[in-house]
Amino acid sequence: MSEKTIAVTVCYSGAARECQEVALQLPAGSALVDAIRQSRVLAAVPDANVDALLAAVWGRKQALDYPLRDGDRVELCRPLKVDPKMARRERFTRQGARSAGLFSKRRAGAKSGY
């Protein structure tokens, strides 16, 4: 082979506990958008949802013209439905202060905070 290639993995999760991973060999100097197009993971996604997706490399948001390197993991992230801070607050109020937190499980007869 006279042309160098890079190995890239494209991941997309359409729903909770569901993940598609596609391993690709791309020409060196390929951009993020090239990997997304070649992976064809967006074929099953409705057109209305494609615009809301964010592209990331190893969990960090990147522009579509970002140059990929060998071994990169491209992730297509769907928008959050609930703010994580708000979800934690609601979970805490549902569980109560006694059953949540660092010292919720104490040994019998132990001092407070141990």
Q: Within 10 Å of residue 76's Cβ, how many Cβ atoms?
A: 20
* pLDDT tens digits for range 67-105: 999 999 999 988 888 888 998 888 888 876 666 566 566
Indicate the fold that domain 5-77 takes in CATH: Ubiquitin-like (UB roll) (3.10.20)
* pLDDT tens digits for range 27-76: 999 999 899 889 888 887 766 567 778 889 998 999 988 999 999 999 99
Question: Residue 26's pLDDT is what?
Answer: 93
* pLDDT tens digits for range 57-67: 998 999 988 99
Q: Judge if pTM exceeds 0.75.
A: no
Q: Where are the domains of the chain?
A: 5-77
By three-state DSSP, how is residue 86 classified?
Answer: helix
Q: Within 10 Å of residue 10's Cβ, how many Cβ atoms?
A: 24
